[in-house]
Structure 1
C-alpha cells in the first residue's frame, strides 16, 4: 500500500456493509442548538479529500532545496491545523493575552486589548458595572475563545473519548462530539445562571421583579460576565451555523430563525435594560438543552438508560421551555404595564412603554412558537418509543447515509 493510500485509509471511516441505521430514535432528535457543527465536525467534500492526498504526496516527496523544505514546512503546518482546528484560534488568543500582560501597559494598544479581555465600565466605589460600546469588544474576543475551546475539546478530548467508549463510525463520532460539547457547556452555564439568579429577587423565576425595579442599567461583576459570556457563545454558534460547515439538517431554517430571535433578544434586553427577564430565559434554555444533549449522547452510546432518560427529558423541556416561558409571556401581557413606571424617556433610559411591550412579547412569542414546533417532534418520538413503533425520526438526516464521505482526523 502506498503512503497516500495509507493516509486515505487512516482518514476515511468506511463501513464494510453500508445500510440505513434502523434503531431506536429516542435521543436522536436534532432540535434546538445542541447539534450546531464546528470546524472539527464539518462535512468533508471530495475536493477536500483530494487536497488532503495532494498534501500527503508533497510531504512524502524528496526535498533537495531550501525552498522545497520551507514549502514542505508550510504544507505540514496546514495539514496539522486541518487535523487540529484549535491551533489557529489558540495562536491568536495567546498573542492577544501575551501582549496584554507582557507589553507596555501605557500604550494605546494595551488600552484596546483591555476592552477585549476585561469587563468595562466599573462604577467607582460600588460593585456595579455599567454598559457601553466596549462590551462589543468583550463579546467578540470571547466568541473567539469559544471557537478555540470547542475545537480543542473536540480534537483532543471528545474524539478520543468517543473511540474509547466504542463509538466508531465517523458520522456517529461527530454527533457524539457535538452533543458532549453541548453537555459540557450547558452543564456549566445552566448552574451558573441559576446561581446568578439566586443573587437577585428573581429566584425562583419570579416575574414581578422584572418590572418593579426597572430599568436595570447596572449589574454586578458576575451578572455582567455571565450575560456577556452567553452573548459571546451565541454569536460563535450563529457564525458557525451561518457558515454551514455541515450539510444543513431538515430544521436548518428553524435553527436560523431561532438564532436570529435569540441574538435579537440578547441585544435588545441588554440595550434596553430588560436583562433580568433575559436571565430567566437564558436559564430555561440552558438547563433544558443540557438534558437534551445528555439524552442524545446516551443514544449514541446505545445506553439502556436512553429511553427512560428521554421520558424524563420531555418533562424537563415542557416545564422550562413552555410552562416557565409562557409564565414570562403572561407577565409581559399583565405586569409589564401595571408594575413599575410606564413611559418612554430616553434621558432616564426608561423604555418600559407602549412600543417596547409588543416588541418584547413578539420576540418571546416567536421563541415559544419554535419551541412548540420542536415539542411536537419530541412528542412524536415519545409516542413511537411508547408504542414500540417506527424506529427513526423522519425529520433528521440518516446518520450513516454519507458515512463513506466522512473524514476522521487523526490525533
Structure 2
C-alpha cells in the first residue's frame, strides 16, 4: 500500500509537470542556496492552525467591538418571530422549502386551517432562522477590516518591489527568486483568511452565491499553494493586491445600509462598482492574465503547470464576470428604485424580497 501511495505522489508531483525544463525539486529546495530563500512547501500547513486563531480573533472583535458599534448606530439585534409548533407543517417544510398552491390547499384541509394561515406559517418558518441585521453588520465589519489591513499591508510591502512597477520582473531569474519575510507574511496571512472563510462560510449568513464563493475560496487557496510550491509567488502577490481593493468598499456599503445610512451606502456602492470593474475586469485580465498568457511564454520555457496556473486565473475571471453581471443588475434596479436595494452576495434566498425591511 505504501508503495502505491508513494508512486501516486511521485507521479503527481513529477518535476516534468510542475517545474520548468532542466529544473529539479532539489534546485528550489529552501536550503539549497545561502543567498536565495526559496519558498518552503512545508510552510503551507501553517495557515490551517492560524485560521483557527483568526476565527477566534473574529469572534472577539464581533462580540466586543463590532456589535457594540452596531448597537450604538441603532441596529437592532431582534430575532424574527417564531412559527407556532406544528409537526405536520414542520415535516412538510423539511421536505421542501417551497410549497405549490395544491400542497398548501392539501395541508390546509388536513389541518382544518385556512390557506392564509398555512401561508403565514410558511413565511414565519422561513424567516425564523434568518440572521439579525446586527449579525450581518458584524460579518461585513470583520471582512471590511481585514480587506483594509490586507490591501494596505500588501501595497506597503510591494511598493519597493520591482514587479509591482514592471510585471515582467515576475519572471526574472524564475524559479530562483528570493522570498522576503514581508512577502512570506503576506502569503501566510492571506491563505489563513481564505481558509477561515472556507470554514466559516458553512456557519455564516447563507448567501445566494454560496457555491460560487466556495469555489472562489478553494480556487484561490489552490492557486496560492501551487504558486508557492513552484515559486510563482510574485504573480500571486499582484493577484491578491488587485482582489482586495474593491472588496473594502463592498463591505463598507453593506455596513452603511444596515446602519440606515442609505445615501452613504449608495455613494460607496457606486465607488465600489467603478473600482470592481476597473480592477477585476480591467487590471486583472489586461495586466496580470495578459502577462501570464502572452509575455511569460516569451521569457520562461513553458511547462505543464503553467497551464494549470493560467486555468485557475481564468476561472477566477469567469467568477468575476458572473459577479459583474449581478452588480450591474443591482445598479440598474437601484437606479429605477432610487436607492441600492441589495448586494451581490445577498444574505438569504429571500433577501431580494425583504431588502426594504432590512
Q: What's the TM-score once normalised by structure 1's chain length?
A: 0.60
Change beyond 3 A, Cα 1:330–1:391: closer
Q: Is the 8 A contact 1:172 1:399 kept in 2?
A: no
| Bigger mean CA deviation after superposition, 187-196 or 389-398 | 389-398
1:217 Cα shift? 4.1
CA distance in 2, matches of 1:174, 1:400: 18
Q: 1:296 aligns with which of 237, 242, 254?
A: 254
- Alpha-carbon contact 1:186-1:287 (below 8 Å) kept: yes
- Matching residue within 341, 358, 362 for 2:307: 358
Q: Match for residue 271 of structure 1?
A: 229
Deviation, 1:390, is 8.8
The 8 Å contact of residues 129 and 224 in structure 1, kept in 2 or not, is answered as no
Aligned equivalents of 2:310, 2:208: Cα separation in 1: 28
Question: What secondary structure does 2:167 align onto?
Answer: coil
Instruction: Please tell me whether the aligned partners of residues 298 and 306 of structure 1 are also in contact (alpha carbons under 8 angstroms).
Output: yes
Partner of 1:221: 181
Q: Distance in 2 between matches of 1:269 and 1:202?
A: 16
Task: Please give the TM-score of this superposition, normalised by the length of structure 2.
Answer: 0.69
Alignment of 1:26-175 (within 5 A): 129-170=37-78, 171-175=132-136
2:154 pairs, out of 181, 184, 193, with 193
Per the alignment, residue 296 of structure 2 pairs with 336
C-alpha separation between the residues in 1 aligned to 2:272 and 2:75? 23
Shift of 1:357: 2.7
Q: Pick one of 240, 243, 252 that aligns with 2:200.
A: 240
What do residues 209-256 of structure 1 show as CA deviations (whole Å, max 9, x unaligned)?
Answer: 122332254311111111111111111111222xx2146321111111
Distance, in Å, in 1 between the alignment partners of 2:279 and 2:136 is: 25
CA shift in 2, pair 1:391/1:336, >3 Å? closer
Give the aligned partner of residue 327 of structure 2: 378
In 2, distance between residues paired with 1:188 and 1:314? 21
Displacement of 1:401 in angstroms is: 8.9
Change (3 A) 1:330 1:136: closer
SS at match of 2:260: coil
Q: 1:137 to 1:289 in 2, by over 3 A?
A: same
> Is 1:262 equivalent to 2:220 in the alignment?
yes
2:336 to 376, 387, 395: 387
The reply on whether 1:326 has 2:285 as its aligned counterpart is yes
- Asked if 1 retains the 8 angstrom alpha-carbon contact of 2:342 and 2:351, the reply is no
Contact 1:129 1:221 in 2 (8 A): no
Native 8 Å contact 1:298 1:305 kept in 2? yes
Return the structure number with greater relative CO, CA threshold 8 A, min gap 6. 1
Q: CA deviation at 1:184?
A: 0.9
Check the 8 A contact 1:336/1:357 in 2, yes or no: no
Q: CA deviation at 1:156?
A: 1.1
Distance in 2 separating the partners of 1:207 and 1:319: 18
- Per the alignment, in what secondary structure is the counterpart of residue 297 of structure 2? coil
Structure 1 segments, 4+ long, off by >6 Å, are 121-125
Residues 247, 230 of structure 1: alpha-carbon distance in 2 compared, 3 angstrom cutoff: closer
Taking a change above 3 Å as real, the CA distance of residues 207 and 125 of structure 1, as seen in their structure-2 partners, is closer
Number of equivalences: 267
Give the alignment's Cα RMSD to 1 decimal.
Answer: 2.5
Partners of 1:122 and 1:129 within 8 A in 2: yes
| SS of residue paired to 1:386 | helix
Contact 1:179/1:294 (<8 A) preserved: yes
The gaps in structure 2 that reach 5 residues or longer are: 1-29, 79-131
